[in-house]
Every structure is written in structure tokens, then in C-alpha cells.
Structure 1
């Protein structure tokens, strides 16, 4: 047996998917023109799947600061912080991150994936237990595996199940670390963080919140779900990324634990990975300032997300449980999802195709990530394309038929809101309403 033969089932499925249209995992743009537009095979398309939540990838000040930094410090550091020393701008960004979160300490990593890998594999080892939400990101799963701690999954967004699993551990030795996310990347739902924090306090556990998709999105000052839920004092570690709202690449962890800085000499993914180039640090520093100083970016993002979510929900699409920048359509089969994705690209709309087993409940998804940079016209163009294709594929009914069905079933639109959990799917059956 050849070393790669074990991947033959995946290769066969991948090949079959490509025969039905384009390769959704190898789209190569001719040019990215703005945060919301690109050129693909000579044609302009709307970008609706880039996680560029605040649209800062083309921000003039971020670009200027990056250009100045590359001229002053060169194109890279060619080594880790441990080997080649910390540049002044690395330390400055860490101070600013700590101040932004009101925390004592911060560590900057070279990717968001590496931040989870490093922190989880270091702070919890053999004899400890990590309790993770079942819908956690791959970087969380991989960080848990690397460290050797026992890993227990609890049901997605279920504090009661978390409580039961902690109770079963009883007085067994070792530390307990709970891991949840601010916004979950597939459906855009949020952790019930107030309840999770209460369970954490009751059992004397530690709590890590991955704010990768919620930094710059949630909270009065953009610090994420931890701020929105008012539980900053209950969270021991906040992990995040620079590759979404901050428009660059990299990751971080902030904490108020007094001995946090010892991680710099015990965290192997931090110690043995080349540090970020000064140009990236400079653009991220400026982007972080924009998060603090420009709340209108979050307001525009919220309006755009509501526009897309409510428009799709009104047409009968089955969506995630709350409005967030991640707006995902649940589809009945992978075949329909692949056909839908190809038709959208033909219509000039690029978004993400998410297929089982990498999705909650193994449901195929078309995943949009809305940006503050999107115009109303772009959101409306995407809506028009989605509705037309959805009807042609039988995913949603034509207006006349839907109206009859809704009247017969007593269906109304659910009021999922920005900043509050939704109540079930986007379309909810209500008797007698």
C-alpha cells in the first residue's frame, strides 16, 4: 500500500466534485481590486466569502504604515522571537493589544491557528482536562491533541451539558480548561458566554474564548463576545487572529494571569516559528486603532449583515440562528450545494462552499461573510442571485406558492437580532400568529 492510498476515498470525492463544475477549493483570482470585488477570468465578481469584516485590507493608512515598515525593517525577521530577538514593533503591538483588552499581558503569534495550537498545547497537558464545544474550530482540536490533555466534547452551546461533564469528573486530579468561540465560523452563532462563565466559576475551571470571528464585530468597543456578554473578568485567555477584522495575518493571546509571560519560554509553537514581518505588525497596529477609533465600521457591518440575513430569511432560506457577519444557507444535499455554488460564481458572486464532515450536523452550507465594505447594491445583487438560483434549484418556493404555504402553516419571520441570540431557524412556525 502506497503512503497516500489512505486518502483514496477523499480523492475520489474531490475528483467527482470537480467534474460537476469549478474546483471550489482552488479558485484563483486574477486580481483582488477592493475588499468587496475581485477579477476572475477577466470578469469582476463580488467577494462575499473573505472574512474581511471591516474591509481594512485596502485601508490607506494600514498600507502606508506597512510600506514604511518594510522599507525600514526589510521583508522579514528570518527567525523566531527567541532566536532573533524581538523587534520593537512586536513589543509595541503586544502592549497595545493588552491595553485594548484591559489585560496585563499579550503574546503575538505568526497565525491565528498557531495561537490556538500554542496556547492549548502548552497550558493543558497530561493529567489535565480540556472541555471543548463540539463545533470548535480545527485549530482548537489540533491544539488539544498536541498537548496530551484529556479532551471532552460537550454539546454545542449547551452549558447544562458542560456542567454535567464537569460534575462527572468530580475530584479527579488535574486542571480543567473550558474552550468556546465568540462567533462560530460555520453558522455565525455565538456561545452562551454568560452561562458558560457561571459554570466555569462553579467548578473552578479556567476559560479560553477564541474571538477570531468576533474581534472588531461584537462588543461596545469591538473586543468581541467577551465584552458584549460582560464577562471579561471571568475569562482567563482570549485568543484571536489578525486575518479577519484586522485584514492581515497573525494571531494573539491576551491574559490577566500574573505568570502568563512564562509561556514565551515553554510554548513550542511560539518559540520555534519565525515571527511576523514588521510590515504586517505595522498594518495590524493601525487596524487595531481603527477598531477602537471607528465604531462606524461595526455599525456599517451590522447593517449589511441584517440586510443579507433578513433578505434571505424572507425568501424562505434556512439560515443560522442569529444575525452575524457569517450568513450561511443550509442546503438539502452536497450535490445541491455544489450546483448552487457554481451557479453563484457564474452570476458573479463568490462565497464559501462548506461540505460535511466539516459542518455542524453534517449539513452542506453556502457560507457568506459580510463586510463593512459592501455597498447596498452589492448586497442586493447577491440577494437577487441567491433567490433566483434557489428557486431554480427548488431550494425555496416561488413567491405565490410560499405565500400559500405560509398562510396555511401560520409562518412568520423570526426576530434574530444583532447582539442577541436568535430563537431557532430564520423561519419559525407559530400557531395562530
Structure 2
């Protein structure tokens, strides 16, 4: 088989978008102007697809902390923590996460993807049982596959289907691992975590929650949907990323089990990946302080989310879920999605174009992620762009979801 044959499927995906003017793989942001704007093809463009939920990427405190750390400690660590040792910032950030969650154990990883991969590869063995939400992120599926565990999916956000799956495991349900996310990043819907946790504990299973898109956004203190659901003392592992609300690069895992520290001796992504740079760690720690001390940022994010959600619903767009910082617009086909995405880009608005299989339920999505840094004027400009885009297609809009 030739190299071309190996890549034929990917070439087909690329070519299927060839009829449209541009696709996301060819977009270059020539200059980032602010947390909410960039130059694309020379045009000032509003960014509504960056996951910059709290808008902290240009926050002076973060930039100053990152610059100071780089000047004092260099541009990178050049090795893993097991090989080269931990910098003081790594240990301090882990203490800060543990204190924020009021747990004995916290670990940080070099990326959010590696956090789930590293946790699952270390705690699972071939033959272990995992029951995960069918909409789980790719890194969760990948971690389960690499571990050799036996895993099966329960119907998305369905506690009764989870119960059915655990019941079928019989005695193997005790000690199984149940995995859910807080806020699902594609459709923007939230999990019924309290109900899922109750089912897991009923069968003696562990419960893990990925709060990548919900940390800093939900909960009175910004700890995520586990806090909002009142189950922080029952969840066994909580993971998250620095690349969303924390405006940096890396990931974290916290646990109420002190034994989690032993993962350092068995998590291959932790052991064999260079540790996060001083600048990334300092920026994440400064962002964590902002979450802890400035709740008004979260309030602004929710005001923006409500304004855009209500506006899109008023325009007749079909929305994939109730209001959240992720607002996904369903479109009839991937071709229609690509055309609408280009129309929005022409209007100076960048959103995420999500096509199957990345989009759940075989839907094509125009995915918007709101930021606390968006102004109401920008939200209104985004709505005007959606209105103009829909005018160019009689299939762009449908009945709004309620």
C-alpha cells in the first residue's frame, strides 16, 4: 500500500470542502489583537471560537507573571520532572490546586490531553472495566484504549442507561470507573453529575469528571460543575486543562485520595514528557488567582452567553442545548455548515466549524464559545453576522431548540 493510499481517507475529507472558499485548516490568524479579535486575511475579525472563556489571555497580571518567570527561569524545562526535577513553580501550582479544591492531592501535566491520558493509563489495567459517556472527549477514549481496559459507553447524559450498563457488569461493577464531563465542548450541554455520581456509588464504582470546559465557569467559587452539583466530596478524580479558562497550556488532576501522588511513578505521559515551561506555569497560577478573587469575570461571561443565546434563538437558529458558554448552532449538512462558516467569516466573525465525526449525532455545527472579554457591541455584531449569513441560504435556520 502506497503512502497516498494510506492518506486517501484524509484527502477525501479535505477535498469534500474544496468547493467552499476556505476551511478551518487553512485559516491563519495573522495577528492577535486582543482576547476577542484577530486579523484574518487582513480583516479585523471577532473571535467566537477560542475557548477563552474568562478572556484572560491579555490580562496584565498573567503577562507580567509569564514574562518574569521566563526571564528568571528560562524559556523551557528541557525535560520531564522525573528526569530533570520539578521547578518551584510546578510544586507551588500543585499546592494551589490542592488548596483550592481542599484535597490532599493534585498533579499537573504538560497538556490537558495528556492529563486524561496520563491518569487513565496509570490507574487502569488490562481487563479493568470502564463505563464512559458516549460523548466523551477523544483523549478519554484514547486513554482507555491504551490502558487495555475493557470500556463501553452509556447513552449521553443518561443516568438510567449508566445504571443498566453497570448492572450488566455484575460483580465487575464494583471497582469499575465511570467517566463523565462537566460541560460538553461540542453541543454545550451539561451533565447531570449528581445523578451519575449516585448511580456510580450505588454500584461501588469510581467516578471521574473532566471539567476542562467547566472549570472557572460553573460553581460559586469557579471550581466547576462538581461544585455546582454538590458532589466534590464524592468524586474520585477531577481533571481539567489550562488552555481554556486558565489562558495557558497544561492540565491538572485533583483527587480526594492521597494515593494519587503515586501516579508520578506510573503515568507514562507524566514521566516521559517535558514539563510545562515556567511561563505557562506562572500564567496558569496567575489565572487561578483571578478565578479565586474576581468572581465578576464569570458574571460577565454569563451575561454575554445569555445575550448571544437569546439573540440566535430570536433569529430562528436551531440551538443544540440550553444556554452555556458554548453555544452550538445545528445546520442541515456539512456543505451548508461550510457555506455558513465562510459567510460568517466574510462578515468578520470567526466561529468553529465542527463536522462529523467530531460533531456528535452526525450533526454539523457552528460552535460559538463566549468570552468574558466580549463586549455587548461585539455580541450584537456577531448576531448581525448570523442574520446576514442566514439571508444567503434558505436552509440555514430551523426551529429553535427549547
Q: TM-score, normalised by structure 2?
A: 0.98
Matches within 5 A, 1:302-321: 302-321=302-321
- Stretch of structure 1 that moved more, 43-52 or 388-397: 388-397
1: distance between equivalents of 2:167 and 2:173? Answer: 13
- TM superposition shift of 1:239: 0.3
2: distance between equivalents of 1:274 and 1:257? Answer: 26
- TM superposition shift of 1:23: 2.6
Match of 2:328 in 1: 328
Matches within 5 A, 1:190-229: 190-229=190-229
Deviations 1:195-215 (A, max 9, x none): 001101100100110000001
Matched residue SS, 2:38: strand
Deviations 1:324-361 (A, max 9, x none): 11011000011100000001101100010000111111
Matched residue SS, 2:24: coil
1: distance between equivalents of 2:109 and 2:65? Answer: 20
Q: What count of residue pairs does the alignment treat as equivalent?
A: 402
Matches within 5 A, 1:264-275: 264-275=264-275
2: distance between equivalents of 1:300 and 1:160? Answer: 35
Structure 1: 5+ residue stretches without partners: 403-424, 429-433
Deviations 1:349-406 (A, max 9, x none): 0010000111111100000000000000100000111022123211357xxxx9xxxx
2: distance between equivalents of 1:391 and 1:41? Answer: 23
Matches within 5 A, 1:157-236: 157-172=157-172, 175-236=175-236
- TM superposition shift of 1:173: 7.9
Instruction: Check whether the contact 1:129–1:174 (CA below 8 A) recurs between aligned residues.
Output: no
Matches within 5 A, 1:244-255: 244-255=244-255
Matched residue SS, 1:313: helix
Instruction: Check whether the contact 2:173–2:205 (CA below 8 A) recurs between aligned residues.
Output: no
Matched residue SS, 1:153: strand
- 1:233–1:18: structure 2 CA closer, same or farther, 3 Å change rule? same
Matches within 5 A, 1:272-351: 272-351=272-351
2: distance between equivalents of 1:46 and 1:194? Answer: 37
Deviations 1:250-300 (A, max 9, x none): 001000112111100111110000001111111110000000101011000
Instruction: Check whether the contact 1:127–1:173 (CA below 8 A) recurs between aligned residues.
Output: no
1: distance between equivalents of 2:160 and 2:391? Answer: 40
Pair 1:79-2:95 in alignment? no
- TM superposition shift of 1:124: 1.4
- TM superposition shift of 1:16: 3.0
Match of 2:31 in 1: 31
1: distance between equivalents of 2:216 and 2:118? Answer: 23
- TM superposition shift of 1:302: 0.2
2: distance between equivalents of 1:108 and 1:364? Answer: 34
Matched residue SS, 1:18: coil
Pairwise CA RMSD? 1.4
Instruction: Check whether the contact 1:127–1:149 (CA below 8 A) recurs between aligned residues.
Output: yes
Instruction: Check whether the contact 1:315–1:396 (CA below 8 A) recurs between aligned residues.
Output: no
Match of 2:2 in 1: 2
1: distance between equivalents of 2:310 and 2:39? Answer: 28
Matches within 5 A, 1:128-147: 128-147=128-147
Structure 2: 5+ residue stretches without partners: none
Match of 1:61 in 2: 61
Instruction: Check whether the contact 1:317–1:395 (CA below 8 A) recurs between aligned residues.
Output: no
1: distance between equivalents of 2:327 and 2:162? Answer: 27
- Stretch of structure 1 that moved more, 388-397 or 306-315: 388-397
Instruction: Check whether the contact 1:332–1:364 (CA below 8 A) recurs between aligned residues.
Output: yes
- 1:173–1:237: structure 2 CA closer, same or farther, 3 Å change rule? closer
- TM superposition shift of 1:319: 0.7
- TM superposition shift of 1:2: 1.2
- 1:192–1:173: structure 2 CA closer, same or farther, 3 Å change rule? closer
1: distance between equivalents of 2:193 and 2:172? Answer: 25
Deviations 1:114-153 (A, max 9, x none): 0010101111111211111000111111111110100110
- 1:155–1:385: structure 2 CA closer, same or farther, 3 Å change rule? same
Runs of 4+ in 1 over 4 A off after TM superposition: none
Matched residue SS, 1:357: coil
Match of 2:238 in 1: 238
